[in-house]
Amino acid sequence: MPELPEVETVMRGLDGHLTGRRIVRATLRRADIRWPVPPELPRMLTGATVRGFRRRGKFMLMRLDNGWSMLIHLGMSGRMLLDKPESAHEHLTIETEDGGRVGFVDPRRFGMLDLVCTAAEDNHRLLAGMGPEPLGNEFSGDYLAAIAKGRSAPIKAVLLDQRVVAGIGNIYASEALFRAGISPLRAAGKISRPRFEALAQAVRATLVEAIAAGGSSLRDYVQPSGELGYFQHAWKVYGREGEACERCPGPPACEGIRRVVQSGRGTFYCAKTQR
């Protein structure tokens, strides 16, 4: 599933293509994707001018000048493609007055589209209760230490909890924990305050670098232009089971990068350098 850097990259591509432009036609080809799509969506989009975009966690909000926002989640395989011919599994097409075209393509149909009043975006059932943005001022080592106090859950599980911090997923949790030298298996309540500060900085640095690289292309993800992301080439542990990490020589001197399953998801880490 696309995580914060991928969603941020897609949102920036859409912002540059759609903001300030009037929508002349919106065509909905399915009544439901993951959940039912509001039948009035084409009518609310048609004739409206796009005012801008906002990302909240792994969700995008396209804000319109009529007071409504379209909420978008890419799910497992969703793509927002710019100025491409209509393709299979294109569930929504948006056409602008200058001849631009955006298609929402989702073969596996785990994505979603919804409408929400712009003034009440944070009250939407999928956004209410989300934690702070990891690139925002509310996210810090002090915040993580306070949230983790007394918790026995592994720190990786805490980072993946969208009620704790919005937008971090499996890839970037593994990568940030490696950078901070913290084992993903360590109980959150057993981590010291200085190490939480290192983790907060590692989360920020990892996400900023991933956004600059256009995200990570894994399976279906592409940028709105159709170009792949490149951060997968900078992964330090994710997907590298059995390889040496950059801090130790690997087998036989050490075991190399391990893969374990936590809450049904693969976790990658170096047992020698992450404690």
Q: Encode pLDDT of 18-60 as tens digits.
A: 999 999 999 999 999 999 999 999 999 999 999 999 999 999 9
Per-residue pLDDT tens for 154-199? 999 999 999 999 999 999 999 999 999 999 999 999 999 999 999 9
Q: At 255, is the secondary structure helix, strand, or coil?
A: coil
Q: Residue type at 69? A: S
Q: Give the DSSP H or E segment for 211.
A: helix 193-212
Catalytic choice (5, 8, 56, 58): 58
Residues paired with 69 in a beta bridge: 63, 116
pLDDT at residue 114 greater than cutoff 80: yes
Cα separation, 20 vs 70, in Å, equals 15
**Model confidence over 123-139: pLDDT tens digits?**
999 999 999 999 999 99
- The pLDDT of residue 234: 87
pLDDT of residue 25: 98
Active site residue 2: yes
Percent of the chain with pLDDT over 70: 95
| pLDDT tens, residue by residue, 92-103 | 999 999 999 999
Active site residue 3: yes
CB 232 within 8 A of CB 5: no
Q: Is the peptide bond before 194 cis (omega within 30 degrees of 0)?
A: no
The model's pTM is: 0.93
Of 208, 265, 270, nearest to 236 by C-alpha is 270
Q: Which of 3, 6, 90, 175 is catalytic?
A: 3
Query: Which domains does the chain carry?
Result: 4-123 (3.20.190.10), 141-270 (1.10.8.50)
220 has pLDDT over 60: no
Rounded CA separation 268/273 (Å): 12
Could you identify the residue written with the tokens 């909420």? 71
